[in-house]
């Protein structure tokens, strides 16, 4: 088996950290208790382990290819996608009225992780479809919804997000694609979009492009961007497929990783204009796009966790198998499996602790999302929404930045074999490298964290999280164990470092923006590090309790060790990050531009 879903870990988080039984008390989630979670996850594991994971290497070796505007995906992808669609996996979290299952995100996030662990390239297609669904659910007219939503939710068609243009990457103010209003209420869209994931492919009959464009006369900058649906094939009034729309895939990119996922250059309107349908109101495209992006950002964070998990599993398997050198403590006479060597253990523990920490963080974020949407109490919804929104850039930024380290360690554990492509460890290293870039680079996530999530409320949400962490420290300190005490100490130091950084950011952001944004990414990394460490600390408390009850002793001991490792080797990085934020801005901004 090339991938085994970490069901026990996932269910531990869903039960004890995300609190699935509380989620199941929210209106709309009555069926979504632990038993459902377990049943869904088991089925999901079976599907991904058996159908999707085996195609991962194939996708790297036989990437999608382009010919005369057509994209042919890796052999096997089309069939796997059909099974994905038939299994109802696309609709897991989407409303039942459009053919979905309406499950909470706390369950959906774990399924998202599995799909991405199995095959990052494959998983991108559903990930983008999810974004299109979110946008239509939020802002689409009833007419648009009725034509497109069910087809997307069932996975019969797929969706894309068309933001980037050659001159407009992170800066959407520079978008130039035009949308000319037509007498019949449609628009003629023309322009070039690049980096369009699954912008063209052969797995389904129709592709629903969500496209940012400007209507003539619209305000300059981001306030003049509108969102359009531009289907590959027009849809007739009776729901049957109509004419081919004027959107062409002119090429796909030759990339470092995720090679099976076609990254298209799309040309809209070269032959008279592609017919597009306005989503929501004119000039509110950026706002709607953010809804799609917030969903997509969380999902990309899950990709970071997913690729880390897969890299960890491969490294562990190799470390058990590879025999080299005697144990340093003289405990054996001959060469031993390298997993006994302390530095290999250190690398594996680092991979493991970061992966589990990020998963735990994402799991509680998902639970907050569920409460933010379904809680009957408005104040609780608001509080959960603020917590979730604070965590999205951490899930995206921290889980993906650390995935670069984790997949790199995965290569390192393999030694020279790691550098040979046939081994497979290098693929994870290459695939992961996009994660800190797309759906907003880490700097963009950090801008969001600084601006919308910290500055705007004067640091209140951040401080509220710190207060919760302090409570966890209190619980840890009451425990008798050395592990709990050690974790409490590290958590406290990291929390104080975080609070310093929060104060600095909240107080200086307006008066000294260059200083604050010089430390925005270290601030994000500090916050992510802390929140992940906090969730592992919570898992230690749970594990100690269950261990005392005699439940699954080996598993619980591993949870405790992992939390302790994270505290001693990862949380300890917090003060240096604090220094970068609070005391490091001068040297970031001091060098004359000509001197670089």
Residues numbered 239 to 258 that lie near a second copy (CB under 8 A) are 253-257
Please enumerate in sequence order all residues whose Cβ is within 8 A of that of 460, keeping only pairs 6 or more positions apart, or say none. Answer: none
Contact 349, 4 (CB under 8 A): no
Touching a second copy, residues 100-159 (CB under 8 A): none
Interacting residue with a second copy among 65, 146, 460, 589 (CB under 8 A): 589
Per-residue binding letters, 164-203, with a second copy (x by CB under 8 A): x--xxxxx-xx-------------------xx--------
Touching a second copy, residues 297-326 (CB under 8 A): 316, 319-320, 323-325
Q: Which is nearer to a second copy, 153 or 518 (CB)?
A: 518
Interacting residue with a second copy among 242, 415, 452, 481 (CB under 8 A): 415
For 219, the 3-state DSSP assignment is coil
The least distance separating a second copy from the CB of residue 153, rounded to whole angstroms, comes to 29
Touching a second copy, residues 20-79 (CB under 8 A): none
Measure the CA–CA gap between 291 and 57, rounded to whole angstroms: 33
Residue 412 in contact with a second copy, rule: CB under 8 A: yes
Touching a second copy, residues 476-515 (CB under 8 A): 513-515
Angle (CA) 572-542-102 rounded to 5° is: 100
Residues that are catalytic: 439
Interacting residue with a second copy among 58, 457, 552, 579 (CB under 8 A): 579
DSSP-H helix ranges across 421-573:
425-432, 442-450, 460-478, 482-508, 513-518, 520-548, 553-569
The least distance separating a second copy from the CB of residue 540, rounded to whole angstroms, comes to 11
The least distance separating a second copy from the CB of residue 536, rounded to whole angstroms, comes to 12
Residue 551 in contact with a second copy, rule: CB under 8 A: no
Backbone angles phi, psi at 228, to 5 degrees: -130, 145
Q: Which is nearer to a second copy, 238 or 422 (CB)?
A: 422
CA dihedral 404, 405, 406, 409 (to 10 degrees): 120
Please choose, out of 81-89, 152-160, 181-189, 561-569, the segment that lies near a second copy by the rule CB under 8 A: 561-569
The least distance separating a second copy from the CB of residue 430, rounded to whole angstroms, comes to 7
Q: Which is nearer to a second copy, 176 or 382 (CB)?
A: 176
Interacting residue with a second copy among 93, 226, 402, 562 (CB under 8 A): 562
Backbone angles phi, psi at 584, to 5 degrees: -105, -5
Touching a second copy, residues 350-389 (CB under 8 A): 352
Residue 456 in contact with a second copy, rule: CB under 8 A: no
Measure the CA–CA gap between 205 and 346, rounded to whole angstroms: 49
**CA–CA distances in Å: residue 151 to residues 43, 147, 155, 434, 489:** 23, 8, 6, 29, 52
Backbone angles phi, psi at 295, to 5 degrees: -65, -45
- Closest-CA residue to 588 (of 499, 516, 497): 516
């Amino acid at each position: 088996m090339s991938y085994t879903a970490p069901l026990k870990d996932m269910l531990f988080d869903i039960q004890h950290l995300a609190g699935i039984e509380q989620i199941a008390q929210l209106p709309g989630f009555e069926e979504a208790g632990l038993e459902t979670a377990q049943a869904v996850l088991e089925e999901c594991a079976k599907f991904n382990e058996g159908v999707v994971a085996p195609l991962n290497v194939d996708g790297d070796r036989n990437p999608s290819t382009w010919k005369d505007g057509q994209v042919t995906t890796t052999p096997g992808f089309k069939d796997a996608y059909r099974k994905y669609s038939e299994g109802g996996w696309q609709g897991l979290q989407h409303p039942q009225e459009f053919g979905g299952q309406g499950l909470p995100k706390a369950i959906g996030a774990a399924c998202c992780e599995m799909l991405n662990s199995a095959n990052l390239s494959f998983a991108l297609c559903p990930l983008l479809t999810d974004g299109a669904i979110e946008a239509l659910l939020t802002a689409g007219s009833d007419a648009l919804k009725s034509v497109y939503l069910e087809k997307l939710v069932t996975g019969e068609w797929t969706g894309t997000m068309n933001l980037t243009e050659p001159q407009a990457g992170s800066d959407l103010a520079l978008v130039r694609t035009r949308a000319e209003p037509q007498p019949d209420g449609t628009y003629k869209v023309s322009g070039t979009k690049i980096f369009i994931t699954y912008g063209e492919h052969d797995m389904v009959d129709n592709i629903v492009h969500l496209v940012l464009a400007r209507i003539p006369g619209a305000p300059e900058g981001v306030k003049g961007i509108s969102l359009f649906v531009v289907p590959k094939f027009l849809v007739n009034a009776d729901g049957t497929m109509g004419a081919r729309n004027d959107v062409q895939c002119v090429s796909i990119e030759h990339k470092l990783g995720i090679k099976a996922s076609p990254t298209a250059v799309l040309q809209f309107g070269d032959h008279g204009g592609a017919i597009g349908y306005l989503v929501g109101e004119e000039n509110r495209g950026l706002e709607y796009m953010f809804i799609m992006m917030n969903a997509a950002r969380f999902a990309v964070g899950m990709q970071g966790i997913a690729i880390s998990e897969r890299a960890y599993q491969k490294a562990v398997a190799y470390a058990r198998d590879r025999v080299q050198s005697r144990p340093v403590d003289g405990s054996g006479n001959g060469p031993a499996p390298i997993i006994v060597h302390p530095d290999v253990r250190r690398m594996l523990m680092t991979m493991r602790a970061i992966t589990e920490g990020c998963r735990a963080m994402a799991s509680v974020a998902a639970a907050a999302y569920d409460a933010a949407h379904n809680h009957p109490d408005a104040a609780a919804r608001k509080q959960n929404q603020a917590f979730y929104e604070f965590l999205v850039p951490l899930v995206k930024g921290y889980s993906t930045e650390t995935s670069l380290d984790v997949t790199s360690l995965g290569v390192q554990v393999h030694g020279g074999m790691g550098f040979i492509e046939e081994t497979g460890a290098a693929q994870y290293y290459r695939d992961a490298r996009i994660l800190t870039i797309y759906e907003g680079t880490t700097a963009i996530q950090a801008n969001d964290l600084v601006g919308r999530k910290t500055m705007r409320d004067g640091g209140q949400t951040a401080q509220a999280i710190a207060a919760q962490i302090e409570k966890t420290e209190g619980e840890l300190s009451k425990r008798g164990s050395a592990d709990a005490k050690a974790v409490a100490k590290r958590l406290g130091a990291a929390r104080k470092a975080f609070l310093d950084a929060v104060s600095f950011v909240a107080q200086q952001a307006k008066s000294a923006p260059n200083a604050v944004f010089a430390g925005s990414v270290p601030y994000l990394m500090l916050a992510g590090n802390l929140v992940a460490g906090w969730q592992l600390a919570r898992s230690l408390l749970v594990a100690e309790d269950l261990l005392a009850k005699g439940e699954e002793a080996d598993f619980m001991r591993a949870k405790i060790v992992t939390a302790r490792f994270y505290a001693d080797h990862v949380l300890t990085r917090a003060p240096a990050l604090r220094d970068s934020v609070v005391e490091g801005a001068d040297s970031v901004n001091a060098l004359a531009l000509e001197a670089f």
